[in-house]
């Protein structure tokens, strides 16, 4: 018995067993960029770290032209210093023009089909031609891929944009009850700026965007207020002066009630927001006027929320996922709709926020 | 002449002396001391090995009273000597065996009985602090090379009539005396019998050390794991006796053997019971963690670098990538190189006298660790992993177990480099598959986990408060389960 | 008289052995199969399947109780005579060998797809056969201990699966009974088959030390499996959207892909490697049943040689044949078809037959 085992063991060692994917021999693609090239071809950029201390750059950018991302990657193998693998991809970036003209989903298939690829990479839309981003020189930041990821994550935490990973993107793409969205990245004066949200329609094509200012409200609609969503309002209505008040939303209770009346969906959205006043450039007597301020804030927030809902309805997209509620509570009627985004465009959405000021800091 | 000693002692002193002189040729340390004793004088012969006896005792307690004996001596039974332990025999076999053990034989002319006097006194070490298993709070007495003293140390803890001692010898030339100690009302008779049968079957020249005896009677000689516990601590031996296990004391060896053991008992120390239970439980968990680290840490590194780079978070991966960048060796070779270096350092330090041992430590730690990284032979992460592994393997309290674990690391590393995590899991499966079929004196070594004995879990991964340990562990198959009453809520 | 005195297993070992056999490869694809048929209401059919499997396993125990020292192999000979008994014997062995082949080849396939994409088939097979041989060789007792040990070792896995729950939304599951009961009843067939494994009670019952707990043990074993199935299915339904699940072959693994800790990422690689433990507790009892059955058939007491032959056949097959995914699916469906008969209809028939036979024999005696 023992001899048998030795023979097997020797055999294993002799054959060398399987093909390893040894770290040293790999080119780790951390960022993949897809852009439209000439003649309808696909431009595939990939950024990977270079560990060699003698090389000047700490990362390399490879640009190839191909029919699909996988095809582009195969071609890129000819340039790279090691076998290209996507297991640690952090960002998948597409340019806005590319996103406008193509169904994103079919191009992203490779990231889901091959189980070795990472599904937690961030999906990002870049405003402008991708080469601006790929060859940007960031002297004060380490690796471009890490920098991109960090910019998106920070901006997301501050609600200046959103974030969506590949898995979530796939989920919202396939689900009939919602449509995908993605954060927008820009290069502004040689620096990375993340802000705003790209909206995709049912066909996974880019149709429009929410601005950086609208992003916090989008986060509120997605019930994503933690940690601290900051908003700033002009107090013109309240104090007749062009002063500002900043609040930060600490927590919120949300309820989405769908109903179906007169051939259209109705959504009653109630939200109770607990806020902290973080900045007041004018004097308001908080003790006395707390109720008044709360009401005014609620109205301001409602105005903003309604405007972005309008915008989404105009584009016929439902990134917030109103459809999920419609499906969960009005299943039969939801199933009857041929296309949820179209039904959503017709839906009536009433948003009733109430604001409660939890504290206004250490000053009166 | 072999015939001579198989027969009995004769009446003639001269013939007896001749028999002895023929038997012991070229034995200068055997002393023949002729005496005339009593009134009227009768010839007597005193023989002993002067290397094995206490000369003071012979001079003062035997020769001195004999010389001044004034009574008439008819038979050897008339001789009165101030020595407590004495016996009579007529068989040469006994005489020779006892003389070899340091006793003194007294022959009287005209009598076929031989008086054997206990005058043992060979060079022996004083009782000292245990070297390998030192303890913080436990007793500072360790076993020494004399069976009697060792039993004395155990007796001091257990003055109870149920502590039974059975003596036997092993080895055709060495006749190593072996004592089997157990609590008769606790230890399972089948287990005791099994052990005695196995010891009886041993047919060797001699047993130099307890470790040899262990290898002769263990259940599975192809197992990497020890199946008996060797300890040099009397308190550990007693604590195991009380759990229903059997202790085997081998003369001339400073460690005693305890069986039947289970796998988890190798992770217990005496200190566990004298510290408070939370701390003891923490230490137990720490040891378990150390066990897994010592086996799996280097192989995890190899598997992650060779197959599963994805599982390393990006920031760590970039660090690893940077530190691996200059290393020309594949991860397996890198790891084996460093692990072997550590093993060599350890082995070198073990055999060297203490002052030079320190030098080895410095050479190893500074020169190999630091310089190898700077020279770009190994990555600094590897050095961290190797040192962590080494520390982890030193935490395992039992040296035998610690060595087995260190050995298992190498096949695991090979498996990891061939099949990554899958190889490691298969390796782990093999270890488990082996462990659950392993037995120590016919009791399963995987207990109390497989077969599960939930009652015994009180003293495994966690050490429950002492007042909750009311029963002896089932894994030792005690016949008397209850250890203490519920005297405290 | 006890025939298997030195190979007895405790009630706990018996429970873990049975539930270990039930939880295996099926669980990785179960949510998709259920979502295909019954959308997100599939979990209800798990509960129905659980009840049915408890009934079936109780019937098995009740049948076996009549002759406590008999395995199915002895029983078939006792009641059906030599020729027909041997036929049932061979059928059961064939069933077990089909099950073990399916489990092993599926495990190899999954490992190749997810963890070791470039390693050839036969190497993984050889690797699997090492512990398979070591553990099967020592008989039911070691098998029981192994199942027990693996249970403790894998306790952390359900906890891990529950981690992505917080990222999902319960909205995906609502409304309950969205399409009525019809699709749920339809999918019961799938869930009933995922409970396959309790039929090995036919083989392991005589080894059980305390026979009076046998029914209780079967209920507990089935409940452990049902809990695992429910946990995974519900987690998948909550995490993935109902339109997405059918597009995934192994939703459980896709789910784990998203788990990230600050010190480790891509948990599916670790999970799947560790999941080999769970798969081994499915495969090894079937291998044991095959080998044990063959050795009983040819009247050999020691099954080591036959085990060696079986292991060699497995390795040899893997050299010649690398099953594509469609073949593996086909094997699975064969197993299920066979298992439906072997584990549900056959025990009921056997129970009725043995009862009648005994009644007649009793009548004669009177």
pLDDT in tens, A313-344: 888 888 888 888 888 888 888 888 888 888 88
d(CA B392, CA B293): 6
Contacts of B220 (CB under 8 A, 6+ apart): B227, B438, B439
Residues A314 and A165 in one domain: no
Contacts of B312 (CB under 8 A, 6+ apart): B304, B320, C264, C265
A131 and A176 in one domain? Answer: yes
CA end-to-end span of chain B, whole Å?
72
CA dist., res. B453 & res. A322, Å (int): 54
Q: At what angle do helices C214-239 and C11-22 cross, to 10 degrees?
A: 40
With 0-12 CB in 10 A as exposed, 13-18 as middle and 19+ as buried, what is B126?
exposed
Across all residues in chain B, what is the average pLDDT? Answer: 87
Q: How many CB atoms neighbour CB A138 within 10 A?
A: 15
Which of B393, B436, B390, B134 minimizes the C-alpha distance to B287? B393
What is the per-residue pLDDT for B290?
94
- List, for residues A108-152, the tens digit of each pLDDT value: 887 888 888 888 888 999 988 888 888 887 777 678 888 888 889
**Do A165 and A85 share a structural domain?**
yes
Q: In A, which residues are within 8 Å of B330 by CB distance?
A: 22, 24
Q: Which helix (H) or strand (E) holds A206?
A: strand A206-210
Which residues of chain C make contact with A331, given a CB cutoff of 8 A?
174-175, 178
ipTM of the complex: 0.92
Q: Is residue C273 part of a domain?
A: yes
Residue-level length of chain C: 366
Give the pLDDT score at C266: 83
Please write the tens of the pLDDT for every residue from A155-192: 888 888 888 888 888 888 888 888 889 999 988 888 88
Residue A180 resides in a domain: yes
pLDDT of residue A157: 86
- Who's near B6: CB < 8 A, 6+ residues apart? B92, B93
Please tell me which of the candidates C127, C148, C150 has its beta carbon nearest to residue B419: C127
Q: How close A108 comes to chain B (CA, Å)?
A: 19
pLDDT value of position B234: 92
The alpha helices in C179-266, defined as continuous H runs, are 182-194, 201-204, 214-239, 251-256
For residue A311 the two structure tokens come to 């915008």
Name the closest residue on chain A to residue C131, using Cα atoms: A5
Query: How confident is the model at residue B7, as a pLDDT?
Result: 75
Q: Which residue has the higher pLDDT, A236 or B370?
A: B370
Domain stops at, among A164, A184, A211: A211
Q: How far is residue A145's CA from residue A154's CA, in Å, rounded to a whole number?
A: 14
Q: Say whether C42 sits in a helix, a strand or coil.
A: helix
Instruction: Mutation target for A interface from C29, C127, C257, C268: give the one with most A CBs within 10 A.
Output: C257
Q: Does A14 touch chain C (CB under 8 A)?
A: no
Residues of chain B with pLDDT under 70: 1-6, 489
d(CA B475, CA A354): 66
In terms of residues, how long is chain A? 364
Interface of C with B (CB under 8 A): 10, 12-13, 111, 115-116, 119, 123-124, 127-128, 130-131, 134-135, 138, 142, 144-146, 148-150, 152-153, 260, 262-267, 269-270, 273-274, 276-277, 280
User: How sure is the predictor about C287, in pLDDT bands with cuts at 50, 70 and 90?
Assistant: very high
Band of the pLDDT at C284, cuts 50, 70, 90?
very high
- Number of domains into which chain C is organized: 1
Check which CATH number belongs to the domain holding C158 and give it. Answer: 1.20.1740.10
In contact, B253 and B449? CB cutoff 8 Å? no
Neighbours of chain A (3+ CB pairs under 8 A): B, C
Q: Into how many domains does chain A fold?
A: 2
Give pLDDT, residue A20. 58
Q: Are residues A268 and A362 in the same domain?
A: yes
Closest by CA position to A48, among listed A84, A92, A93, A95:
A84
Question: In angstroms, rounded to a whole number, what is the distance separating the alpha carbons of residues B427 and C282?
Answer: 18
What per-residue confidence (pLDDT) applies to C100?
Answer: 92
Q: In what order do the strands lie in the sheet with A348-359?
A: A229-234, A244-261, A264-280, A348-359
In the prediction, which pLDDT does C227 show?
Answer: 92
Contact status, residue A18 vs residue B418, Cβ threshold 8 Å: yes
- Which domain range does residue C255 map to? 10-334
Give me A343's structure tokens: 């039904």
| Average pLDDT value over all residues in chain C | 87
In DSSP notation, A262-277 reads TTEEEEEEEEEEEEEE
3-class secondary structure, A257: strand
Domain assignment present for residue C328? The answer is yes
**Mean pLDDT across C29-51:** 88
Which of B300, B415, B403 lies closest to C130 in space, CA to CA? B415
pLDDT over 80 (residue A9)? no
- pLDDT given at position A72: 67
- Could you list the beta-strand ranges (E) of chain A: 26-28, 31-36, 42-49, 59-66, 83-85, 91-95, 122-126, 181-188, 191-200, 206-210, 229-234, 244-261, 264-280, 348-359
A13 touches chain B (CB under 8 A): yes
Question: Reduced to 3 states, what is the DSSP secondary structure of residue B245?
Answer: coil
A88 to B331: CB separation less than 8 angstroms, yes or no = no
pLDDT tens digits along C69-100: 888 888 888 888 888 888 888 999 999 999 99
Residue B83: Cβ-neighbour burial (10 angstroms; 0-12, 13-18, 19+): middle
From chain C, the residues in CB contact with A118 under 8 A are 257, 266
Q: Is C366 inside any structural domain?
A: no
The minimum CA-CA distance between B385 and chain C, rounded to whole Å, is 15
Give the nearest chain C residue to B310 (CA atoms).
C266
CATH of the domain at A268: 3.30.300.210
- Give the residue, C142 or A190, on which the prediction is more confident: C142
User: Which residue in A2, A22, A85 is closest to B222 by CB distance?
Assistant: A2
Cβ contact A46:A73 at 8 Å: yes
- What are the residue ranges spanned by the domains of chain B? 2-117, 147-261, 275-443
Q: b/e for A179-203, b at 16 or more Cβ within 10 A?
A: bbbbbbbbbeeeebbbbbbbbbbbe
- Structure letter (DSSP) for residue B125: P
- Closest in B306, B315, B419 to A22, CB measured: B306
Report the candidate in C297, C290, C349, C341 with the shortest Cα–Cα distance to residue C79: C349
Q: In the structure encoding, which two tokens stand for residue A349, read together?
A: 């959405």
Tell me the C-alpha to C-alpha distance, in Å, between residue C20 and each of C281, C340, C345.
Answer: 5, 19, 22
pLDDT over 80 at A19, yes or no: no
| pLDDT value at residue C366 | 39
First and final C-alpha spacing in chain A: 84
> What pLDDT score was predicted for residue B6?
63
H or E element that contains B141? none
Residue B2's pLDDT is 46
Inter-chain residue contact B324 with A26, CB threshold 8 Å:
no
Considering the domain architecture, whether residues A136 and A52 belong to the same structural domain is answered as yes
The answer to whether the Cβ–Cβ distance between A23 and B320 falls below 8 Å is: yes
Asked if the model's pLDDT at residue C1 lies above 50, the reply is: no
Query: Given A20, A22, A49, which is nearest B318 (Cβ)?
Result: A49
Q: d(Cα B138, Cα A298) in Å, to the nearest integer?
A: 71
Q: What tens digit of pLDDT does each residue of A60-118 get?
A: 888 888 777 677 666 666 555 566 777 788 888 988 888 888 888 777 887 888 888 88
Residue B77 token pair: 């039974």
Token pair for residue B107? 């022959």
Would the pLDDT of C104 be above 60?
A: yes
Which pLDDT belongs to residue B199? 92
Picking from C119, C174, C260, the nearest residue to A18 by CB comes out as C119
Q: What distance in Å separates the CA atoms of residue C187 and residue B70, rounded to the nearest whole number?
A: 110
Q: Are B229 and B265 in contact (CB under 8 A)?
A: yes
Distance from CA of A87 to the nearest CA of C (A): 9
- Domain membership of residue A243 as a residue range: 213-364
3-state secondary structure of A280: strand
Whether A152 contacts chain B with CB within 8 A:
no
**Could you tell me if residue C305 is inside a domain?**
yes
The last residue of a domain, from among A211, A231, A254: A211
Residue A8 lies in a domain: no
The per-residue pLDDT for A14 is 45
Q: Specify whether A154 is located in the same domain as A265.
A: no
The residue of chain A nearest to residue B326, with distances taken between CA atoms, is A52
Task: Determine the Cα–Cα distance for residues A99 and B285; give it in Å rounded to an integer.
Answer: 54
């Amino acid at each position: 018995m023992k001899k048998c085992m030795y023979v097997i063991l020797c055999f294993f060692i002799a054959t060398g067993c399987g093909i390893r994917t040894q770290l040293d021999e790999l080119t780790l693609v951390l960022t993949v960029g897809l852009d439209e090239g000439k003649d309808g071809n696909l431009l595939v950029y990939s950024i990977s770290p270079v560990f060699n201390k003698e090389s000047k750059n700490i990362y390399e950018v490879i640009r190839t032209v191909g029919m699909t991302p996988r095809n582009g990657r195969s071609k890129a193998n000819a340039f790279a210093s090691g076998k290209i693998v996507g297991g640690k991809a952090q960002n998948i970036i597409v340019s806005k023009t590319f996103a406008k003209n193509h169904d994103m989903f079919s191009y992203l298939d490779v990231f889901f089909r091959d189980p070795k690829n990472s599904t937690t990479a961030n999906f990002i839309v870049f405003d402008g031609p991708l080469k601006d981003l790929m060859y940007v020189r960031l002297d004060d930041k380490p690796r471009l891929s890490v920098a991109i990821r960090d910019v998106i994550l920070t901006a997301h935490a501050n609600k200046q944009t959103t974030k969506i990973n590949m898995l979530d993107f796939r989920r919202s793409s396939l689900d009939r009850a919602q449509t995908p969205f993605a954060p927008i990245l820009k290069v502004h004066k040689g620096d990375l700026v993340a802000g705003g949200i790209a909206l995709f329609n049912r066909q996974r094509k880019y149709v429009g965007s929410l601005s950086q200012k609208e992003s916090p409200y989008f986060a509120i609609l997605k019930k994503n207020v933690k940690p601290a969503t900051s908003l700033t309002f002009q107090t013109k209505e309240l104090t007749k002066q062009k002063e500002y008040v900043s609040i930060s939303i600490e927590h919120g209770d949300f309820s989405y009630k769908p109903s179906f009346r007169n051939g259209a969906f109705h959504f009653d959205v109630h939200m109770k927001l607990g806020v902290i006043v973080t900045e007041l450039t004018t004097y308001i007597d908080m003790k006395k006027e707390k109720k008044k301020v709360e009401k005014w804030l609620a109205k301001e927030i409602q105005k903003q929320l309604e405007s972005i809902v309008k915008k989404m309805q105009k584009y016929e997209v439902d990134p917030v996922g109103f459809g999920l509620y419609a499906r969960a509570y009005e299943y039969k009627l939801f199933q009857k709709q041929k296309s949820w985004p179209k039904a959503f465009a017709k839906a009536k959405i009433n948003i009733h926020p109430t604001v409660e000021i939890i504290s206004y800091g250490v000053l009166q | 002449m072999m015939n001579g000693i198989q027969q009995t002692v004769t009446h003639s002193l001269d013939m007896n002396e001749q028999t002895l002189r023929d038997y012991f040729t070229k034995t200068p340390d055997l002393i023949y001391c002729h005496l005339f004793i009593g009134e009227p004088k009768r010839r007597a012969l005193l023989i002993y090995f002067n290397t094995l006896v206490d000369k003071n005792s012979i001079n003062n307690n035997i020769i001195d009273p004999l010389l001044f004996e004034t009574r008439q001596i008819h038979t050897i039974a008339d001789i009165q000597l101030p020595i407590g332990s004495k016996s009579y025999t007529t068989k040469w076999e006994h005489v020779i065996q006892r003389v070899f053990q340091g006793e003194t034989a007294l022959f009287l002319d005209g009598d076929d009985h031989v008086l054997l006097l206990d005058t043992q006194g060979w060079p022996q070490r004083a009782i000292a602090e245990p070297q390998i298993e030192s303890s913080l709070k436990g007793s500072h007495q360790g076993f020494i090379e004399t069976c009697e003293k060792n039993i004395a140390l155990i007796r001091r803890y257990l003055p109870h009539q149920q502590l039974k001692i059975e003596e036997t010898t092993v080895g055709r030339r060495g006749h190593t005396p072996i004592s089997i100690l157990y609590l008769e009302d606790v230890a399972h008779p089948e287990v005791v019998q099994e052990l005695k049968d196995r010891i009886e079957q041993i047919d060797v020249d001699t047993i130099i050390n307890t470790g040899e005896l262990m290898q002769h009677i263990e259940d599975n000689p192809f197992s990497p794991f020890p199946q008996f516990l060797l300890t040099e601590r009397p308190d550990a031996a007693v604590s195991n006796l009380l759990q229903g296990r059997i202790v085997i004391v081998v003369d001339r060896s400073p460690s005693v053997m305890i069986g039947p053991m289970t796998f988890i008992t190798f992770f217990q120390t005496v200190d566990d019971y004298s510290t408070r239970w939370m701390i003891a439980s923490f230490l137990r968990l720490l040891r378990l963690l150390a066990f897994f680290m010592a086996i799996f840490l280097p192989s995890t590194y190899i598997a992650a670098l060779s197959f599963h780079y994805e599982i390393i978070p990006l920031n760590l991966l970039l660090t690893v990538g940077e530190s691996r960048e200059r290393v020309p060796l594949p991860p397996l070779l890198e790891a084996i190189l460093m692990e072997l270096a550590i093993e060599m350092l350890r082995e070198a330090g073990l055999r060297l006298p203490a002052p030079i041992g320190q030098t080895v430590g410095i050479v190893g730690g500074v020169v190999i660790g630091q310089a190898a990284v700077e020279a770009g032979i190994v990555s600094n992460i590897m050095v961290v992993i190797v040192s962590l592994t080494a520390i982890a393997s030193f935490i395992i309290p039992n040296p035998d177990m610690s060595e087995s674990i260190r050995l298992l690391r190498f096949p695991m590393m090979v498996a990891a480099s061939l099949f990554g995590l899958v190889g490691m899991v298969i390796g782990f499966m093999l270890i488990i598959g082996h462990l659950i079929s392993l037995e120590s004196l016919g009791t399963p070594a995987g207990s109390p986990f497989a077969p599960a004995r939930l009652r015994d879990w009180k003293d495994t991964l966690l050490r429950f408060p002492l007042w909750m340990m009311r029963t002896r562990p089932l894994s030792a198959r005690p016949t008397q389960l209850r250890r203490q009453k519920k005297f405290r809520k | 008289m006890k025939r298997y005195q030195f190979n007895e297993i405790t009630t706990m070992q018996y429970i873990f052995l049975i539930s270990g056999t039930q939880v295996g490869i099926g669980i990785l694809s179960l949510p998709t199969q259920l979502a295909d048929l019954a959308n997100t209401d599939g979990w209800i059919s798990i509960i129905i399947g659980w009840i049915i499997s408890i009934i079936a396993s109780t019937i098995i125990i009740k049948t076996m109780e009549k002759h406590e020292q008999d395995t199915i192999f002895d029983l078939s000979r006792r009641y059906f005579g030599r020729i027909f008994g041997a036929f049932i014997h061979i059928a059961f062995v064939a069933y077990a060998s089909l099950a073990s082949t399916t489990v092993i080849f599926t495990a190899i396939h999954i490992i190749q797809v997810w963890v070791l994409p470039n390693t050839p088939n036969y190497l993984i097979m050889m690797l699997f056969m090492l512990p398979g041989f070591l553990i099967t060789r020592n008989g039911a007792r070691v098998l029981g201990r192994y199942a027990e040990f693996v249970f403790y070792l894998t306790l952390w896995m359900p906890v891990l699966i529950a981690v992505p729950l917080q990222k999902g939304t319960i909205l995906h599951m609502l409304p309950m009974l969205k399409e009525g009961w019809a699709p749920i009843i339809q999918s019961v067939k799938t869930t009933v088959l995922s409970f396959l494994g309790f039929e090995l009670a036919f083989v392991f019952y005589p080894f059980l030390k305390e026979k009076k707990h046998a029914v209780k043990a079967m209920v507990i074993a089935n409940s452990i499996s049902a809990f695992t199935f429910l946990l995974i299915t519900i987690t998948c339904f909550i995490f993935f959207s109902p339109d997405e699940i059918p597009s995934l072959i192994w939703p459980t693994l896709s789910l784990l892909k998203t788990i990230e800790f600050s010190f480790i990422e891509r948990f599916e690689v670790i999970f799947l490697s560790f999941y080999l433990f769970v798969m081994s507790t499915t495969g090894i009892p079937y291998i044991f049943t095959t080998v044990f059955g063959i050795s009983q058939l040819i009247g050999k007491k020691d099954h080591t040689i036959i085990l060696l032959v079986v292991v060699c056949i497995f390795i040899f097959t893997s050299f010649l044949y690398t099953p594509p995914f469609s073949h593996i699916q086909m094997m699975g469906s064969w197993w299920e078809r066979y298992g439906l008969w072997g584990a549900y209809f056959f025990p009921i028939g056997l129970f009725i037959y043995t009862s009648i036979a005994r009644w007649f024999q009793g009548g004669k005696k009177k």
